[in-house]
Amino acid sequence: MLEKDSLNKAFTYIEPGPVTLVTTREGRKNNICTISWMMAINYSAHCHIAVSTGPWNHTFQTLMGTRECCVCIPQADMAETVVGIGTVSGEEIDKFREFGLTPVKAEIVKAPLIEECIASLECRVIDYIEEHGLVILQCEQLWVDKAREFDPMLHANGDGTFRVDSSRVINLRDKMRMWVPEGSERF
């Protein structure tokens, strides 16, 4: 039976996607930021992503200055690392060294990929909607570790707890064929 609950908890039921690690590079310094609110806003060949962030964090300043980043998707077993990255400032420490992660040179942007992640997207900033704290990214290149492609991902509930997705796939593609963008099929 459904029961009324606090509207303050509403967003914990609609968190849009996996927790991500956003990397930037300013000069010779790499940085990583944990972002738990991100969503695809279209499905074209150059996917656009909305990221919730703002001037309260160091990464935002670099992101707006360089206009590029990598969005890296960690697997669920990296949960403590992901939370740790989000609790310290890259202005003060080298997060790659501190958390034992491996930066990998990207092809299009200067920000690094993260070797330990399932996938990484090289992205460029194309807009910032200040009123809502949304940075709009255009994806330029996708990198996938095929050996980990179906590892469970981590999803924030927005209250300090997380859900782990499963590798179970429900394939209803035949019923949705007309809405599936060409070349987007993963399974």
Confidence of residue 66 (pLDDT cuts 50, 70, 90): very high
**Range list of β-strands (E), 42-94:** 48-52, 68-73
pLDDT of residue 168: 72
Count CA within 13 A, CB hemisphere, residue 64: 15
> Structure tokens of 58?
């160091």
Close Cβ partners of 13 (under 8 Å, ≥ 6 residues apart): none
Residue reference for tokens 């996996």: 18
8 Å CB contact between 22 and 15: no
Own/partner long-range contacts of 91-96 (Cβ < 8 Å, ≥24 apart): 91/58, 94/29, 94/30, 95/30, 95/31, 95/32, 96/30, 96/32
Q: Judge whether 64 lies within some domain.
A: yes
pTM above threshold 0.75:
yes
Q: Which domain holds residue 27?
A: 16-179
Residue 71: name the closest of 106, 20, 36, 118 by CA.
20
| Cα dist from 87 to 2, 30, 57, 84, 136, whole Å | 35, 17, 11, 5, 24
Which CATH number belongs to the domain containing residue 44 in this structure?
2.30.110.10
Q: Judge whether 1 lies within some domain.
A: no
Number of domains forming the structure of the chain: 1
| pLDDT per position as a tens digit, 139-149 | 999 999 989 98
With vertex at residue 155, the alpha carbon angle to CA 142 and CA 153, rounded to the nearest 5 degrees, is 50
CA–CA gap between residue 102 and residue 135 (Å, rounded): 25
| pLDDT per position as a tens digit, 88-106 | 999 889 999 999 999 999 9
Q: Judge whether 187 lies within some domain.
A: no
Q: Judge whether 61 lies within some domain.
A: yes
Close Cβ partners of 142 (under 8 Å, ≥ 6 residues apart): 119, 120, 121, 122
Lowest mean pLDDT among 13-17, 116-120, 135-139: 13-17
| pLDDT per position as a tens digit, 150-170 | 889 898 877 788 889 876 777
Q: Judge whether 51 lies within some domain.
A: yes
Lowest mean pLDDT among 97-111, 131-145, 168-182: 168-182
| pLDDT per position as a tens digit, 23-50 | 999 999 999 999 988 888 876 667 889 9
pLDDT of residue 13: 63
